[in-house]
Structure 1
Amino acid sequence: MHAHDHHEHEGADLTRAAQTTLEKAGEQWTAMRESVFSALAQFDKPASAYDIAEAVSDREGRRVAANSVYRILDLFVNSNLARRVESENAYIANAHPDCLHDCIFLVCDKCGQTTHLDDDAITNEVRSAAKSAGFSPVRPVIEVRGKCADCD
């Protein structure tokens, strides 16, 4: 496997890396964006916008609309701070927002645990196949459904 090496951030270091990445992209790191990112990073499985809105609402003691969270999540995905797990319509925080590449997700159908793999050789082959078919790929979406080692 041609894995991509990078530094994975955690906790406060992840939040700082996300803030730095967003600001380098010319965007502001607002209190609401920080709240949404912090909530997203707390989930150990992909979280929906509704899950995140509920977590932020509980933390802040006021109702936060899922529509507002969706807009922020779209910004996060476009800025590499979060990844969307398409088959779950859910999101995970990107543990290395300072590194841009395509992802492969392994999604457990039993427990919902989602593992993120980086293999540039595979995703480059997908991009190449798309180009050979006359298609201009923007972002390959590769998800493998099955059972994780704990559920097998």
Structure 2
Amino acid sequence: MAHDHSHHEHSGETLVEAARNALTASGEQWTGMRETVFSELSKHDRPVSAYDIADNLSAARGKRVAPNSVYRILDLFVTNNLALRVESSNAYLANTHPGCEHDCIFLVCDECGDATHIDDEEVSRTVRSLAAAKNFKPERPVLEIRGLCQACA
């Protein structure tokens, strides 16, 4: 059953505010650079790479933003559930409900690059149970199903 839990989807400024609140509640600082990276990330409907974010910020600021700095910030966002990482593409999406913890399940289109995030607690429980049965402790399960979206099929 998808969406076993309820959460509020944020967008625009409310998404940035929700991300700031979630990050500071976890004991981390919300710096100007972190806000800039999150704001840029949240503008994209499709997964975006750290290099794309760095290029966009460099152009907007008129000075180079190093991709490795962006990667560090994105890793912090993933750790604190503010961003989701599409592993196979090495790209990121803003989590539209920061603070809501769940496993990452993506439908990734090989044609257009779109990634649809699905919340399905039953699938998550099954995957975690399978891992536990093999005496494996999953830290961050990620499932990606590659194929074609409806528009590209």
TM-score bin (small chain) = over 0.9
Partner of 2:44: 43
Checking the alignment, whether the CA contact within 8 Å between 2:2 and 2:118 is kept in structure 1 is no
Once the two structures are overlaid, the 10-residue window that deviates more, 56-65 or 83-92, is 56-65
Instruction: Structure 2: state its 5+ residue gaps.
Output: none
| TM-score where L is the length of structure 2 | 0.96
Q: What SS class does the counterpart of residue 58 from structure 2 fall into? A: helix
Instruction: Structure 1: state its 5+ residue gaps.
Output: none
Q: What is the rounded CA distance, in whole Å, between the counterparts of 1:122 and 1:109 in structure 2?
A: 23
Deviation, structure 1 residue 57: 1.0
Checking the alignment, whether the CA contact within 8 Å between 1:103 and 1:119 is kept in structure 2 is no
Partner of 1:75: 76
Partner of 2:3: 3
Aligned residue identity for 2:30? W
Deviation, structure 1 residue 115: 0.3
Q: What is the rounded CA distance, in whole Å, between the counterparts of 1:58 and 1:101 in structure 2?
A: 34
Partner of 2:141: 140
Q: What is the rounded CA distance, in whole Å, between the counterparts of 2:77 and 2:142 in structure 1?
A: 17
Partner of 2:53: 52
Structure 1 residue 120 corresponds to structure 2 residue 117:
no
Q: What is the rounded CA distance, in whole Å, between the counterparts of 1:42 and 1:57 in structure 2?
A: 16
Question: Superposed, which structure 2 residues align to 1:91-106 within 5 Å?
Answer: 91-106=92-107
| TM-score where L is the length of structure 1 | 0.97
Q: CA RMSD in A?
A: 0.8
- Deviation sequence 1:118-152 (CA, Å, 0-9, x none): 00110111001000011111111100001111111
| Percentage of identical aligned residues | 59
Once the two structures are overlaid, the 10-residue window that deviates more, 36-45 or 17-26, is 36-45
